[in-house]
Chains A and B, each alone.
Chain A
Amino acid sequence: MLIDVNSYIGHWPFRRLKGNTCKEQIARMNAAGIDKAVLFNLNGIFYKNVQSANDELFEALNENSEYRKRFIPFATINPIYSGWKHDFEESVKKQGAKGIRLYPLYHGYELSNPACIELAKMARDHNLPVAMALRMVDSRPSSWLDVSKEWALKDTLPLIKAVPDAKYLILNLANNSNFGAFNKDELTMVRQTKLLMDTSGRMVMELSDMMKNYGSDKFAFGSHYPILDPVTGLLRIEAMRPEEATKAEKEKLYYENAKNFLGL
């Protein structure tokens, strides 16, 4: 079994994406042997009223009964925009979102923002993961209209410290994600938090070492497709030698960690 914890539908305004519909995602998943995928709607980054993107996501999922079985939808919430609590209620309780997605760099707030912290507490109280990416795209070749700031893993700490008993899905480890960036207390906190990181990011170079330092339950296969190619995130797992990851440990990365984290 294989679960992809990082995939998208929707549009990216600065270049044409392919594979960004439910139908195309299913075709990709079948070709790769992916059983289920966490699904986000990219349009939630760009619509001021993110609930429109959530509506799009669930309308797309309702087009085919298979989509509801294969995709694990996360709703985008912008905690500094009017009506975000209503959006939470709508997307979680009525539409069936299985997690919350934040885009602080695009929506223009800090993780220490009281509304963001309140949102994380609401997600915690509903046992829903909070997802964030260190970056959406490589900022270097992106458009002059795109945000230029990217995060390191440590930049997620303000929210984790504020709500340490929530669940966090950290995606696209594209910048410094080394455990050495944390002090002893911070590293202990990261290890103790219900935190799952995907394998799509460029800094996932020594996955076996990262598993040793953060914990083997802290990682799961993710592709970040169709922004990144659909293979590299899996290749990082497959290329580990038996002495670096046992078959059982690889199974955790393929699906067990995701299954446990997402409560499937």
Chain B
Amino acid sequence: MKTQNRRDFLAKAAAALAVTGSPLPGAALSLDRSPASQDEQFPPKRSLADEIKKYRKIDAHAHVYFTKGNFEQVIDIADRLNIGKLVISRPMVPGGKGEPSEFIECNNLVLKAMKQFPDRFFGQLTLNPQYPKESMEEIERCIGEGMIGVKLYNHVKINDPLFYPVIEKFIGLKMMILMHMGIGIARIQYDAREPKGVSIPEDMVEAALRYPEAKFQLAHIGGGIDWEAACKAVIGVPNIFVDVSGSNNAANMIDFAVKCVGIDRLFFGCDSSYYQGVGHVLAAGITDAEREKLYFGNYNKYLKSIGRHVD
């Protein structure tokens, strides 16, 4: 069995850093030592518990559900991973018509959650631009109740003219437009549940170029979309922010996203996959300062722009 004391380990780690010129996965993390047996010594085990505490976090892509006790469950796992704030929405059921009664019900759930946990949840409304009058009324109602943006789903593409009044409204509010992205196999064969109206990154690029004053959030590059294609699509489009949420914690996803769009346009998020969301940011080959921006600073900067930032 390999024997290695802490000094040896640190020396080797430093040498590795000198060779690679970039952080090893997790090399920026603090370390502690797990007990060794009497006849063996092991490399010091990484203290993820310390790392969880080290970084404040704003989950820029979170959800609540209609199931009983769900709000408390979300808060419980957020507490476990030191996620102080969560930007929640309740998208409509996939495959539904997206009628006003559906999105109003979803938004009411979010408002209820915001009221129950006002220090933890920021709310985003949802709507369907196929119902323009009701959608605009819902914006007024929900923003009036304290929501901070909109989460859109797959009824209509983000670059469809039906969305223009909605985008223009959110330009006026200076608020974020978060859009679901189509799940599919390498952008050739989409997931069976995705309707024709689902947006792809190129649709968002078109909308973002048409409305450079708007702020768009490209949803969940870990959510089953082709994350390499998505990141490449938004290179050089400064008003598109990319959230790294989703259940797919493919290695090097964040490193690739940083390379494509830069650290300042990335938002941390989980999309209900909390371990992957927190884990792959800890694993990313970025500096402590960049990790702080990703977990917290970048979204807080947006919140500051609308006067809702976290101190």
- What is the interface of chain A, defined by CB distance below 8 A to chain B? 1-2, 15, 17-19, 27-35, 66, 69-70, 137-144, 146, 148, 202, 204-205, 225-236, 238-239, 241, 254
Contact = CB atoms under 8 A, between A and B. Distances in A.
A33 B46 contact: yes
Contacts of A236: 275
Contact of B44 (A33, A140, A202): A33
Q: Binding site of B, secondary structure by majority: helix, strand, loop or mixed? A: loop
B67 interface: no
B279 A30 contact: no
B209 interface: no
Nearest to B20: A27
Contact of A2 (B29, B34, B80): B34
Interface in B31-60: 31, 34, 36-37, 40, 42-46, 48-49, 52
B42 A1 contact: yes
Given A28-B25, A254-B45, A33 B31 contact: yes
A205 B275 contact: yes
Contact of A70 (B2, B228, B255): B2
Nearest to B2: A69
A239 B25 contact: no
Interface stretch (B210-218, B242-250, B295-303): B242-250
B184 interface: yes
Interface stretch (B155-163, B185-193, B199-207): B185-193
Contacts of A227: 250-251
Contact of B46 (A15, A32, A137): A32
Contact of A232 (B20, B189, B283): B283
17 contacts: A1-B34, A1-B37, A31-B24, A31-B25, A31-B29, A33-B34, A141-B225, A226-B251, A229-B279, A229-B280, A231-B279, A232-B249, A232-B279, A234-B46, A238-B49, A239-B52, A241-B80
Contact of B250 (A138, A205, A233, A254): A138
Given A141-B185, A141-B186, A235 B250 contact: no
Nearest to B247: A202
A31 B282 contact: no
A254 B2 CA distance: 17
Given A31-B26, A31-B27, A2 B42 contact: yes
B189 A69 contact: no
B66 interface: no
Nearest to A23: B16
Given A140-B224, A144-B185, A231-B283, A32 B275 contact: no
B42 A230 contact: no
Given A141-B225, A146-B185, A241-B80, 7 more contacts: A32-B26, A138-B250, A140-B248, A229-B276, A230-B26, A232-B276, A239-B81
Nearest to A264: B1
A18 B186 contact: no
Given A235-B48, A238-B48, A254-B34, A30 B13 contact: yes
B122 interface: no
Nearest 7 interchain pairs by C-beta? A232-B279, A33-B45, A140-B224, A229-B283, A231-B283, A229-B280, A238-B48
A189 to B, nearest CB: 29
B252 interface: yes
A66 B43 CA distance: 14
A222 B24 CA distance: 19
A63 B24 CA distance: 22
Given A33-B44, A231-B26, A17 B81 contact: no
Contacts of A19: 25, 251
A191 to B, nearest CB: 25
B208 interface: no
B191 to A, nearest CB: 6
Most buried by A among B4, B31, B45, B255: B45
Contacts of B191: 140
Contact of B16 (A27, A235, A238): A27
Contacts of B227: 141
A230 B25 CA distance: 8
Contacts of A232: 249, 275-276, 278-280, 283
